[in-house]
Amino acid sequence: MQYKKDRIYFHHSFNQYSINQVVQAQFWDMPTGRCWGNFEQYRQCASTCPDTCNDIRWPNPYKICNLMCRMGCECIQPFVRLNENPMSPCVHPRRCRFM
């Protein structure tokens, strides 16, 4: 796989599962680990189950999350993802009420 500024090129040996995993990942600059969104930080062990506005609006005490982590970008506390899309912006929880 080769990384360019705004594109990802897949090697022919990638299977559909691998492609889905990459597509679901957040895009960040590979060599520096730099995140492109506001209020984000790169982490070697970021949550695979980040908080979102939906968690603020409709708290679920039984939310099941994977304890494994991943390399990538996550919102800086207290910011949360706008929605379940890992590419959605990080927003302050107070903004979630108006979304």
Domain ranges of the chain: 29-96
* CA 8 – CA 1 distance, rounded (Å): 7
CATH topology of domain 29-96: Laminin (2.10.25)
pTM for the structure as a whole: 0.64
Q: Which secondary-structure segment (H or E) carries 81? A: strand 80-81
The pLDDT profile of the chain, 99 residues, written as one tens digit per residue, is: 444 444 444 445 545 544 444 444 444 444 467 898 999 999 999 999 999 999 999 999 898 888 899 889 999 999 999 999 988 999 999 999 876
Cα-Cα-Cα-Cα dihedral sign, residues 86, 68, 56, 92: negative
